[in-house]
Amino acid sequence: MTPLIEANRVSRTLADPEPFTLVCDASLSVAPGEMVAIVGPSGCGKSSLLYLLGLLDRPTSGSISIDGRVTEDLGEAERTHIRLERIGYVFQFHFLLPELTALANVALPMRRLARLTGDQIAERAAALLEKVGLGDGAGKRPERMSGGERQRVAIARALANDPAILLSDEPTGNLDSANTRMVIAEFQRLAHEEGRGVVCVTHDATVAAAADRRIHMLDGRIVAGD
């Protein structure tokens, strides 16, 4: 089975203002149906690695394949299209568009992809919100939602275009334990029942324990995995 993500000796260094290595020689792969946690001390390069895996950033050396397709030689437009179609992002701070309702936020990626009709998009957005337990909050703006609710809207939005890959950076960093449990359960369901590849950068031991595998990082390097 082709891995969803395959990173092969990936490095990312900065030249300015002084040479600095964010990620060094990292190799990993993520298969469909598994939930992987990336753990390590603050500043070790977890987020940097996640940006590389999600094609938001380009490695200075090494290569990353998505669905078995090498991405280094692709232009920005193609990489962006892969993000739109195959990858969903969830960040620690929900990053919803404040002007739009929950439903409109969830609809954004679908409207951009424009594969469904307007009615189908509205229907699917409502269904996704229903799944994360926000069936009646569809018309609310982010400012009138709690942190947990916003994070659930962000998860629903990440799943809008039915991506094979879900990347998340400290998704529970701002949540209480009840919401954290809910997010863990959702991620496990997405991996185990829906067969997606879920990658989760986390400090939270419960989240890490709930993952199928843990990748440990230190100073930009992957030091251990289980």
Partner 1 sequence: MKGLMVLLDVAAAHLLMRVRQTVVAVAGVGVGVGFFLAVSGMMIGSQNDFIKTLIDSAPHIVASDEQRSAARQPALDAFPQAAVTVRGVRPQDEVRGLKDWPALLADARAIPGAVAAPTLVGAVAVRFAGRTEAVSLNGIDPRIEGKLAKIEESLIGGRLIDLEARPDGIIVTRPMADRLGAHVGDTLVVSSSAGTLQRMRIVALVDPDARAGFYAGDIAGYGLLRTAQVLFARPNVVNQIHVRLPNPQTAERDAARLEARWGYKWVSWEERSRDILNLLVVRDVIMYAVISAILVVASFGIYTAVSNSVADKRRDIAILRAMGFTERDVQVIFLAEGLAVGLIGVLVGFGLGTLLLEALSHAPLTMGGKPLVLPLDRGLRQYAVAGGASLVAALIAAWLPARKAASVDPVEILRGAA
* Token duo for residue 155: 């998860």
Q: What type of residue is 32?
A: P
Q: In the window 18-47, what residues touch ligand ATP (CB under 6 A)?
A: 20, 22, 42-47
Picked from partner 1, ligand ATP, Mg ion, none, the partner binding residue 208 (CB below 5 to 8 A depending on kind) is none
Picked from ligand ATP, partner 1, Mg ion, none, the partner binding residue 109 (CB below 5 to 8 A depending on kind) is partner 1
| Alpha carbons 109 and 115: distance in angstroms, whole number | 10
Please state, in angstroms and as integers, the Cα–Cα distance from residue 128 to each residue in 96, 97, 160, 162, 174, following that order. 15, 17, 7, 10, 22
For residue 106, what is the enclosing H or E element?
helix 102-113
The contact set with partner 1 (CB under 8 A) reads 47, 51, 54, 56-57, 76-77, 80-81, 83-85, 87, 89, 91-93, 95-100, 104, 108-109, 111-114, 157, 161, 169-170
3-state helix, strand, coil in the chain (%, to 5): 35, 25, 40
Residue 47 makes contact with Mg ion by CB under 5 A? yes
Residue 202 makes contact with Mg ion by CB under 5 A? no
Least separation in angstroms between residue 30's CB and ligand ATP is 18
| Alpha carbons 60 and 200: distance in angstroms, whole number | 23
Nearer to ligand ATP, 21 or 100 (CB): 21
Least separation in angstroms between residue 37's CB and ligand ATP is 13
